[in-house]
Amino acid sequence: MIMRISKSKFVAGCQCVKRLYWQVHEPELAAQPDAADEAIMQQGHEVGMLARQLFPGGVEVGSYGGLDQAIRTTRELVANREVPAIFEGVFEHDGVLVRVDVLHRRRDGRWRLIEVKSSTSKKEEHLDDVAIQYRVLSRRGLDVGSCCLAHVNRNYMFQGGSVDPWRFFRIRNVTRQVEKLQPKLIFQLRSQFTVLSMPKAPDIAPGRQCSDPVTCEFYERCNLPRPNDHIGYLPRLHASAVEELEEIGVQSIHDIPAEFELTEIQRRAADCVRTGEPWYDSEALKAELATLSYPISYIDFESINPAIPRFTAMRPYQQVVFQFSVHRQKRLSAEPEHFEFLAMDASDPRLDFIGSLCDALGENGSIVVYNAGFESQRLSELAVWLPEFANEIKTIQTRLWDLLPIVRKHVYHPAFAGSYSLKSVLPALVPEMSYAAMAVANGQDAGLAWQSLVHGGLDCDGRDRIRKALLDYCGQDTLALVRLVETLRLSILTGAFLGGRTLL
């Protein structure tokens, strides 16, 4: 059997040869791509298609007829001097198979190899990708004059109409870096083919390579579920601290030496795990909650950040809001009134979004958010895009009241498992509320659902189903904030916090 590896498998092997072994010999055991993974791949495809506009007259090598046919077609296109560029050209040498995003025929007759990436900067792993292509092409006799990396220019601003590919991309010449990697490739390839010939996967301990530069699709095979008292569940515990503890044989929070340096928040979390009881600072919470003024609004935004901007004055990967939920409580113990907005088509939602939001929030009262940085940044962007709302937006920003740092400083529950995200805090403090059975259960799901709503060509039932799922999810986020504040107030009044001890 002839052993072949593709450039993607070679790059995987550069991250971890065990990952490469499983990709080749046991691919069925890999975690299957989810909707988010598929969306990222689709986005990369769209960026790749846009890059082709830089090379008019270029010819794509199709996948029909199999690899051997693709190699023959590529060879014919290389020989045809009338073809200015080749897209997805296929080359093979010594068991290494590569598809080249763009092979551009220069005026001097030499070739320019261009790898297209949807990232906004050059990364080290990109050089491995280009280097293996250069090796194969040069050994197949092509005169490669330069190697380039085309990535997204984050500073590009869309002016409407069609995206300008010449301004959207930055093309970096990485020829010297790629040439310097060639001696190293000899040893990498030799190692990879040796590993692939082994009867079983090599014994490599889990480590940073499991998630750097990407999360391995076999992650759970090497990284078994951690017990609830694992040191990795301490908030913001640096990887170096985890390694230091593991080197002295400590994996349980119960076994952390008293003299080991932890932050105040980490020490508090460790104490909660040891006792099994939640903790909160009653006096501090009372002072924080006293700063709230009625009517209190609770808000949450949903957004997407497409690589290719869709609306005027947007930049690549800039967030655009498409949905909000507001629960507005006029006085203590009153049932909150609910307001919501959801863009229902692919037109620019920004003007309708901010107009509806200003109406829902009114002119007075605190505005409770969870992690105010996100909503505040989206508001700042809207103020730039829609300067006629700049004053209203600035006033809204001065009213924001962030619940996240208050919970982080003054509350901990063992069920947080080291995380202060709303998805971790809510079920611990308000157990009757959960995202578990929701059709849309997180922000990423919401973005994907909205994309299918406005671009998916769904029938009426499908659109109604997704619309309801989005409204339910965003509404749950703001109702969760209402219930969290109620829980904290009740804890202060009763002097008992979910059965745990207090500082009273």
For residue 211, give the DSSP letter: T
3 in helix, strand or coil? coil
Q: Are 312 and 168 members of one domain? A: no
What Å distances lie between residue 138 and 75, 154, 495, CA to CA? 14, 32, 74
Whether residue 227 lies inside any domain: the answer is: no
Q: How far apart are CA 43 and CA 59, in angstroms?
A: 21
Choose among 139, 87, 400, 424: nearest CA to 269: 424
**Mean pLDDT per 10-residue section of the chain, whose length is 504 residues:** 86 97 96 91 96 98 91 97 98 96 96 98 95 98 98 97 97 97 96 96 93 95 93 93 93 95 95 93 94 98 97 97 98 94 96 98 97 97 98 98 96 95 93 89 94 89 95 96 94 67 39
The pLDDT assigned to 35 comes to 87
Task: Tell me: do 303 and 166 sit in the same domain.
Answer: no
What is the domain-level CATH number for residue 483? 3.30.420.10
**Cis peptide upstream of residue 295 (ω within 30 degrees of 0):** yes
- CB burial class (10 A; 0-12, 13-18, 19+) of residue 299? buried
CB 378 within 8 A of CB 303: yes
**Do 162 and 305 belong to one domain?**
no
Pair 381, 480 in one domain: yes
Instruction: Assess whether 319 and 456 both reside in one domain.
Output: yes
**Domain end call among 166, 196, 226:** 196
- Report yes or no on 319 lying in a domain: yes
Same domain, 293 and 184: no
| Within a domain: 239 | no
Same domain, yes or no, for 379 and 482? yes
* Token output for 147: 């190697």
Output the pLDDT for position 2: 66
Q: What is the pLDDT of residue 497?
A: 60
Same domain, 164 and 288: no
Number of domains in the chain: 2
Q: Tell which residue, 228, 206, 205, has the closest CA to residue 215.
A: 206
Structural contact between residues 297 and 331, judged by C-beta atoms closer than 8 angstroms = no
Would you state the pLDDT for residue 143? 97
Q: Name the domain boundary from 142, 162, 196.
A: 196
HSE, CB side, 13 Å, CA atoms: give it for residue 305.
13
Residues 349 and 445 in one domain: yes
Alpha-carbon span 462 to 457, nearest angstrom: 9
Q: Is residue 203 part of a domain?
A: no
- 192 and 68: one domain? yes
> Which CATH number belongs to the domain containing residue 113 in this structure?
3.90.320.10
What are the two backbone dihedrals, phi and then psi, of residue 228, each rounded to the nearest 5 degrees?
A: -65, -20
Indicate if 291 and 190 belong to the same structural domain. Answer: no
Helix (H, G, I), strand (E, B), or coil: what is residue 341? strand
Residue 22 lies inside a defined structural domain of this protein? yes
Expressed as residue numbers, the domain containing 307 is 283-494
CA 169, CA 359: separation in Å to the nearest integer?
A: 40
SS3 298: strand
Residue 274 lies in a domain: no
In angstroms, the CA 134 to CA 113 distance is 8
Based on the fold, state whether residues 295 and 179 are members of the same structural domain: no
Q: For residue 488, give both structure tokens.
A: 């904290």
Q: Determine contact, residues 407/369, Cβ cutoff 8 Å.
A: no
Backbone Cα Rg of the chain: 27
**Does the residue 242 lie in any domain?**
no
Backbone angles phi, psi at 302, to 5 degrees: -120, 145
187 is a domain residue: yes
* Alpha-carbon dihedral 49, 19, 178, 147, rounded to 10 degrees: -10
Domain boundary among 149, 181, 196: 196
